Structure 1
Amino acid sequence: PPTEEQLQAMRDINVELHSVTLEPLRAGLASIRTLWTDLPLEIAFYTRAEFQQEVDQILNDNHIDLAVSFFMRTAEYVRRRPNLPRILVAEDCRVEYQSRSSSSARSLHQRIVRWWETRKLLAYEPEVVNDFDLTTFVSPEDVAAMRDLNASASYQVVTNGVDLDRFAYNDDQSSRSGVLFAGKLDVLANHLMAGSIVRDIFPMVQVLHKGATLTIAGANPLSSLRTMLGEGMELHADVPDLVPYLHRYAVFLHPHHGGSGIQNKVLEAMSAGCAVVTTPSGLQGIDAIHEVHCLIGTSDTDLADNAARLLGDPDLRQRLARNARVLMEQTHSWKHVEQQMFAAITTVLHTAS
């Protein structure tokens, strides 16, 4: 549950917060409903009777002009409310996410779960958007994927933003060195990326750039990741703040494959001035150009070559980092996101009036 400090921070900006605790074990058991209902696993996990009661109480006791469901996992709570204008902030196309992720799954268990979830979402996702006046996604690619599933619903792009002040730009390339990967390391996609760097990509970087070092930083790393580390590689677990890392390292290496949506960690690295090496899917929803804002690779060899190239060329790092920061200011500031969201709200309320 949120701390009192977090609750007060919400009150300070005039947000009335109703907290409902999710018990993972109970929610996990409730996910079994996916076998006999139309609910995908992720929806069954988060759909709780006590949450529904809280929402119903708020809607019954107050005049609500607009309901905004953040993530599809909250869509169930308001989708069947008559005469209530509704926006679903879906972020990404979940069918696209699961189908892409299944191709990169390494274990039989992962492949089975991804197959099942894709199957359930193919029925659920195109239907649930019909119950909302507008559904927003973080990238044009997600909108296009959703239109392939349901062309009749209304969609709009509302991208993700980055805190430009917190992830302040550091232009000093002379003090930077080494390769960084950072993220929440108990998230499967991040664990797989970290493992790919350690096992497949960084050994090639070490051959190309003598003395190269790698740091993986983030919360809750799995024990199996630590056992993979070799010479010149470090794991920094549960660091309180990633900003100093983004200011210290020369290259942010991001071997993204599969998935959908937008990569916030790439936005943060670009904002902070850490030169980015990633894949085409790692830039979904980000208007970055190869050799202008970052370096892009489509294979492990490409990614290793690009990382080694940047380690040896501080001028190139600086040019890419400066261009990337300007791109973040122009297209991923909170002001930009606010304008997109305000346009979505205005559209729905105008239609409802």
Structure 2
Amino acid sequence: MNYLSAGKQHLEQLLALEAKCFKTDRMSRRSMKRFIEHNHAVFEVAECNGQLVGYALVLFHRGTRLARLYSIAVDPDMQGRGIASQLMKDAEKGAIEHGALYLRLEVNLHNHGAISLYKKFGYREFGLLHDYYEDHADALRMQKQIRTPQAQSMTAQVPWYRQTTDFTCGPAALMMAMGALDKQRVHTVSDELVIWREATTIFMTSGHGGCHPLGLAIAAVRRNFNAEVWINQTQPLFVDGVRDTDKKAIIAKVHEDYEQEAAALHIDVEYANITQERIADACRDGEVVLVLISTFRLDSKKAPHWVVVSGVDEKCFYLHDPDPDDKHQDPLDCQYIPIARQDFEKMSQFGSSRLRTAIILSR
């Protein structure tokens, strides 16, 4: 069995295979030809004794790290020989080489064989599309994170903790970091709320306050950890989203108090942009890094949000996010989330002042 990239010489056999495998939703000659010639697609075929017996086609979403398994087919007479599995492996490998971090697909809700194959490869269901196919059948949507950190690129094994309120991402992130450095440490909801009271700025854009990097660092030092803080500005933080002058004054006062307490505790504060190299070095040295991000690239909202860097390699940073999209989301989907380095650079700044701040935690 040979596996190779589709070429113009395969066009007629691909069309014949398409007709043999699918009664509806077949690719046209024009589409098939265009995909063969497309530079930003992965189009793999399987040949047996010169006869084309299978293919897999992956397309990419421009401007994102998302790929889509557009179609996969194996000659019915050749099924059961591992062809689909090898095509899936090649499709994922090609998608990774193109910079994709996630691979999505749609599958007929009644195609139990294909669904079983995808689940075997680690794909998870995340949606249902009604009346999706030409025959009005429903489609199951599935997704897989295809890029994961290798053991050597992971920081100290980071436990995952789900924040229990809408406003305690900072304490939850700090608890994950402390748990990575102290395996015996057990955290409770009470710990989460106590840390929030110690670290909160009191006011944010609206509602409950968010956590100040110096406040979180002070909370960590009080619990016998070392903290190194990076902040790229010296003025009070989080005031640009607050209109009320009285609230601004309170935030400024809290900021001043945190600076004084951090100095008294001899916490190292660097008033500069933390670099990706510094974050990567910290992870490799067994330290744990908390980073404030803007959630815009995650949920289209411009909210400040604390996460933990749980791994790093030459292409990505991996994050532990304490806040699932919904209460039913699988916790595994919130761990080792791959973020391309260039995307991380944009994500790890917040507000009109482009605040960039991080905390490096060690024993």
Query: Is the TM value for this pair above 0.5?
Result: no
Q: Which has the higher contact order (CA 8 A, sep 6+)?
A: 1
Structure with the larger strand share: 2
Structure with the larger helix share: 1
What's the TM-score, normalizing by structure 1? 0.31
